[in-house]
Homo-oligomer: A and B are copies of this chain.
Amino acid sequence: MAFVTAAITVSADGFVAGENQTAERPFGDGPAGELHRWMFETPEENRAEIDANLAADAYIMGRNMFGPVRGEWDLSWTGWWGDDPPYHKPVLVLTHHAREDLPMAGGTTFHFVTGGIHDAFDQARKITGDGRITIAGGASTVNQYLAAGLIDQLTLNVSPLTIGAGERLFDGVPPLRLEQTGSRAASLVTHITYRVLR
């Protein structure tokens, strides 16, 4: 069985983004832009968690995490992630619009999956065998996989602010029994890792 992980940064009140997300402001209005200070200002302190989230054999991400384009593809857009994306493995992008595979430098290939979360999951399992699948985000994708009972390990990177409105982790997810398997504080964040109990 593949081992399925997700890690996501949340405010102390559980938001992953503020209201009114746009292509230019993917974290929306308000203080949500400060959610990821820990990653940008203190990466060395948090190297273990950053690396752990880039250690999978395949990734699944929502279309918004690939890029801000809506509707039909603009084929000149090859993602937020630059010419050499940090994944170096197959990345399955959930979308309603078919597109040819997009191989990038460094071993990352974006595969566009139109069949929904279970189709993407089956494809990822075929790629990884007993390896690791990481649900890379965003929150609505993580929430869908949590609700489907397909995530084994969830890491919350809890940032020191509250946002008050916007997109919430766990929205629409039935109650979960969790086992805290790790918890580590850095200066701008606390990383808490849970095993999702069945």
Contact = CB atoms under 8 A, between A and B. Distances in A.
Interface in A141-181: 156, 158, 160-164, 168-170, 173-180
A30 B176 CA distance: 11
B31 A169 contact: no
A175 B30 contact: yes
Interface residues of A, number: 33
A33 to B, nearest CB: 12
Name, among A169, A176, A178, A182, the residue most crowded by chain B CB atoms within 10 Å (CB to CB).
Answer: A176
Could you say how many copies of this chain the assembly holds?
2
A76 interface: no
B162 A176 contact: yes
A30 B184 CA distance: 29
A12 interface: yes
Nearest to A165: B175
Contacts of A173: 13, 162, 164
Contact of A14 (B14, B176, B185): B14
Contacts of A164: 170, 173-175
Contacts of A179: 160
A183 B176 contact: no
A184 B162 CA distance: 20
30 contacts: A12-B170, A12-B178, A12-B192, A12-B194, A13-B169, A13-B170, A13-B173, A14-B14, A31-B175, A31-B177, A158-B192, A160-B178, A160-B194, A161-B176, A162-B170, A162-B175, A162-B176, A162-B178, A163-B175, A164-B173, A164-B174, A180-B185, A180-B188, A180-B189, A180-B190, A183-B185, A183-B190, A185-B185, A185-B192, A190-B192
Interface of A: 12-14, 30-31, 156, 158, 160-164, 168-170, 173-180, 182-185, 187-190, 192, 194
